Amino acid sequence: MKRSEKETSRGPRRPKRRAILPRILSFVGVLLIWGFIAAAGVVGYYALKMPPIDQINVPKRPPNIAILSDSGTLIANRGDMGGATVRLAELPPYLPRAFIAIEDRRFYQHWGVDPLGVLRALMRNLSSGGTVQGGSTLTQQLAKNLFLTQERTFARKIQEVILALWLEHKYTKDQLLELYLNRVYFGSGAYGVEAAAQKYFGHPARMITLPEAAMLAGLMKAPTKLAPTHNPAGARERAAQVIAAMREEEFITGPMADLALLHPAQVQRSKGAGSYNYAADYVMDLLDETVGIVDQDILVTTTINLALQNAAERALTEELDRKGARYGVGQGALVALAPDGGIKVLIGGRNYAESQFDRAVAAHRQPGSAFKPFVYLAALEAGLTPDSVREDAPINIKGWQPENYTHAYQGPVTLTRALSQSLNTVAARLGNEVGVKTVIHVARRLGIDSELQANASLALGTSEVTPLEITSAYVPFANGGIGVQPHIILKVVTAKNKLLYQRKGRSNGRVIGEAVLAEMNWMMEETLVSGTAHGAGVAGWQSAGKTGTSQDWRDAWFIGYTSHLITGVWLGNDDNSPTHKASGGTLPVAIWSRFMKVAHQNVPPQPLPGGTWQAPAQATQMMPPMAGDTGYEAPREIGAPPPVAEAVPGELKARDQYDERARTGEAQPHAVPIPQAAAHSASHSSWAEENDLNGLLPPAAIPEGPRNRPQAVPPAPRPNRKERNLFESLFGG
Q: Report the SS3 class of residue 425.
A: helix
Q: Using CA of residue 639, residue 427, residue 327, residue 360, what is the dihedral sign?
A: negative
Cα–Cα distance, 127 to 431 (Å, whole number): 86
Cα–Cα distance, 663 to 388 (Å, whole number): 10
Cα–Cα distance, 669 to 662 (Å, whole number): 11
Q: Spot the catalytic one: 136, 275, 369, 543.
A: 369
Q: CA of 556: how far to CAs of 77, 204, 278, 571, in Å?
A: 33, 41, 21, 5
Cα–Cα distance, 518 to 523 (Å, whole number): 9
Would you call 685 a catalytic residue per the annotation? Answer: no
Cα–Cα distance, 688 to 506 (Å, whole number): 7
Cα–Cα distance, 182 to 161 (Å, whole number): 21
Could you tell me if 442 and 386 are in contact, meaning their C-beta atoms sit under 8 angstroms apart? no
Would you call 369 a catalytic residue per the annotation? Answer: yes
Element (H, E) at 570: strand 566-572
Could you tell me if 103 and 138 are in contact, meaning their C-beta atoms sit under 8 angstroms apart? yes
Please report which residue ranges of 328-452 form alpha helices under DSSP H: 359-362, 372-381, 415-420, 424-434, 436-446
- For residue 74, list its beta bridge partners: 68
Cα–Cα distance, 268 to 474 (Å, whole number): 39
What's at 317, amino acid-wise?
T
Cα–Cα distance, 511 to 506 (Å, whole number): 14
Cα–Cα distance, 444 to 290 (Å, whole number): 24
Angle made by CA atoms 206, 210, 213, in degrees to the nearest 5: 65
Could you tell me if 302 and 69 are in contact, meaning their C-beta atoms sit under 8 angstroms apart? yes
Cα–Cα distance, 270 to 665 (Å, whole number): 61
Cα–Cα distance, 62 to 78 (Å, whole number): 11
Q: Report the SS3 class of residue 300.
A: strand
Residue 498 sits at φ, ψ, to 5 deg, of: -85, 125
Terminal alpha carbon distance of the chain: 145
Q: Is 578 exposed, middle or buried (0-12, 13-18, 19+ CB in 10 A)?
A: middle
- For residue 78, list its beta bridge partners: 65
- 120-134 burial: b if 16+ Cβ within 10 Å, else e: ebeeeeeeeeeebbb
- For residue 545, list its beta bridge partners: 560
- For residue 546, list its beta bridge partners: 559
Q: Spot the catalytic one: 69, 103, 391, 472.
A: 103
Element (H, E) at 123: helix 115-128
Q: How many residues does the chain have?
A: 733
The DSSP call for residue 623 is P
The number of helix segments (H) and strand segments (E) in the chain equals 26, 14
Residues with active-site annotation:
103, 369
